[in-house]
Structure 1
């Protein structure tokens, strides 16, 4: 078994939302614990972030409809959230919810023979869930690091996780169980 940890959208802009802002410290701590343990277990770690261009060329349909951009390249909003220990880790930039859309993530995982991804970050019902669905479409097993994920809408998050877990046989794990999974990493 080869595993990769994906840290998704742990960026300042997302924590401007009050519900995520209240969870920032615990989420950063949980992500940092996973990152540290992944490094020790030789588990690949990828930091995925969303960035858009001001010229609207990367905007989503809803952004275009509202004529309101978000997470512009080079702005403070697009920067990693304070305290996240990601120095030296590979980073990928996406413009859609899925970490697979328009990135070379799948190619990177295939080169390392990764068959399982552990997802952490925000938001569970959007970017984390879409990444999970696309991972499944690419025959990758998925585990959600529940201590290291959060959403702006807990009801949506629970509903989408239930569907993904039931339909795609994905699993939700607390950090202790994720660490046990890392220990199974083949070297």
Structure 2
């Protein structure tokens, strides 16, 4: 295995039923279209021996650990999005956590906020992160900006394996991330690159 790949982790963010399935409580309009690209990115990562980190939201059913602005979605008779143990919190069909993968549970936008992600990556010699999933202006962007702030050598976002509510929002956020030194590549470009 090339050293570059052994020092790289793929972060798969929020590819859960409640974000991806049409009609789900937190549905991201661009989400369903990227599922095949995310599946392919995971396959490529497995083929290259890249660490795969599944980053998911799992909330207390009563919303005690959710952001204040979302607390109204929890409680008696509410939908309670991405509550731990529910079908909505599960990964979408086609994505499976396998032996050797790692799962990080977050309760905020950034995968680094109040989680062990940074120490996990550091202790495993990870210097490069590649990000896929939803949604571009929130969890993708916050995670990417934190990775930049934490001085990862390279931070990559796969453009066609990330999505937002609209193509315009997605494109604007990709532009912003590119302007802080983030590599923004199409899946095919990433497949043929060494990053």
User: Considering the TM-score relative to the shorter chain, is it more than 0.5?
Assistant: yes
For 2:31 and 2:55, how far apart are their aligned partners in 1? Answer: 19
Asked if 1:54 corresponds to 2:66, the answer is no
Does structure 1 conserve the Cα–Cα contact (< 8 Å) formed by 2:133 and 2:163?
yes
Structure 2 residue runs of 5 or longer lacking an equivalent are 75-79
Question: Would you say how many aligned residue pairs link Structure 1 and Structure 2?
Answer: 180
Does structure 2 conserve the Cα–Cα contact (< 8 Å) formed by 1:53 and 1:73?
yes
For 1:94 and 1:47, how far apart are their aligned partners in 2? Answer: 10
Does structure 2 conserve the Cα–Cα contact (< 8 Å) formed by 1:8 and 1:121?
yes
CA shift for structure 1 position 67: 5.2
**Can you list the C-alpha shifts for 1:76-97, whole angstroms capped at 9, x where unaligned?**
1101011113332211110001
Does structure 2 conserve the Cα–Cα contact (< 8 Å) formed by 1:17 and 1:152?
no
Identify which of 4, 8, 30 aligns with 2:9.
Answer: 4
CA shift for structure 1 position 12: 0.2
CA shift for structure 1 position 115: 1.6
In terms of fraction of residues, the more helix-rich structure is: 1
Does structure 1 conserve the Cα–Cα contact (< 8 Å) formed by 2:37 and 2:160?
yes
Q: Is the alpha carbon distance of 1:115 and 1:177 closer, same or farther for their aligned partners in structure 2, counting shifts above 3 Å?
A: same
TM normalised by structure 1 equals: 0.87
- Please give the residue correspondences for 1:1-187 in structure 2 after superposition, counting only pairs within 5 Å: 1=4, 2-17=7-22, 20=28, 24=32, 26-64=33-71, 66=72, 68=74, 69-88=80-99, 89-140=101-152, 141-166=154-179, 168-181=180-193, 184=194
Structure with larger RCO (C-alpha < 8 A, sep 6+): 1
TM normalised by structure 2 equals: 0.83
Equivalent residue of 1:6, what SS? strand
For 1:156 and 1:27, how far apart are their aligned partners in 2? Answer: 15
Structure 1 residue runs of 5 or longer lacking an equivalent are none
